[in-house]
Every structure is written in C-alpha cells, then in structure tokens.
Amino acid sequence: MKPTVELQGFGGVEEALVELEQLSGRTTLGKNAVMRGLRKSMKRIEDAAKAKVPVDEGDLRDSITTKKARARRIPGSRKFERQTGIDMLTGPTGRQQGGVGAFQEFGTVNMPANPFMRPAADSEGQAVVDEVIDVIRDEVAKTAARARKKAAKGK
C-alpha cells in the first residue's frame, strides 16, 4: 500500500486548472504544469541524495533522477492500471535501481548499509512539502498565461 499525503492550501490552483481546461479544451496542460512543479520541488531531494551517495565511478549518482511513475501492467493482462493521480519518484533508475542502489541503501550480509535516499528525504522532505504549493501555483499560473495569450492570438 502506498503512503498517502493530504495537502491543504491549494486554493486558487484548482480554479486555475479549471480555467486552463476551458481555455485549451484539454486537461493535459494542467497535468503537465503540476508535473513540472512537482519535479522542481523534488529536485531538492534528488540533489541531496546525489550529494550523500557514495561515489566509485559515479554510475549510481548519475542514475538518481526524478520522474513520473509509469503505469503498471495488470497481472495476467495486456492492459495497464488506470492512473488517477500523478506519482513522482526520486531515486536510482535503470540497472542501479534494484541492484547497486538497493545494496548501498540497505546493505547486504557482506556489506553494511550506506543509506543515501532516506537521509536525503528526511533532511529535505519538509522543505519540499513547504514549497510544493508555491511552485505548483507558479507553474499553473505561467501555463494559464501562455494559454490565454495563445487563445487571444487565435481570435
């Protein structure tokens, strides 16, 4: 089960998202603006993790990114689960994700744990929560301004 976070103080953002949908006729503009805002906010954790990760050749450090979670395949089917929200993930990607990254973070029987993601999330998590609404509000406002300008130009 995924942890859930309830955020308050998003006044004005919902109205701006509705306005964006009315201006453009599509919901993707608002969704993309929210994703850009989340990615910018989560950059703090990404940077802290990159600073804390042990570096040998730099592959693990370079694999730490922030990206949108991909839809998961429904077991035994060709279909994918329906996504109703936006999930952003920060951490090692590719081959580093389940291998070296997990070994460093949690350790093995032959190697002590050398965590880098959890300390980064603990040190920067509250700052991300504190700033996420402002960053999302700014991104949505910028997108709305561009949509208004484009709508005015088309008339």
Q: Is 141 contained in some domain?
A: yes
Please state whether the predicted TM-score (pTM) of the whole model is above 0.75.
Answer: no
CA distance 70 to 83: 9
CA distance 124 to 100: 23
Into how many domains does the chain fold? 1
Q: Is 52 contained in some domain?
A: yes
Domain extent, residue 109, equals 17-147
pLDDT in tens, the chain (155 residues): 444 555 566 667 777 777 777 777 766 777 788 888 888 888 989 899 889 888 877 788 888 888 887 766 667 777 666 666 677 788 887 665 557 778 888 888 998 988 888 888 888 888 888 888 888 888 888 888 887 888 787 65
Q: Is 80 contained in some domain?
A: yes
Q: Is 154 contained in some domain?
A: no
Q: Is 50 contained in some domain?
A: yes
Q: Is 4 contained in some domain?
A: no
Contact yes or no for 30/128 (Cβ under 8 A): no
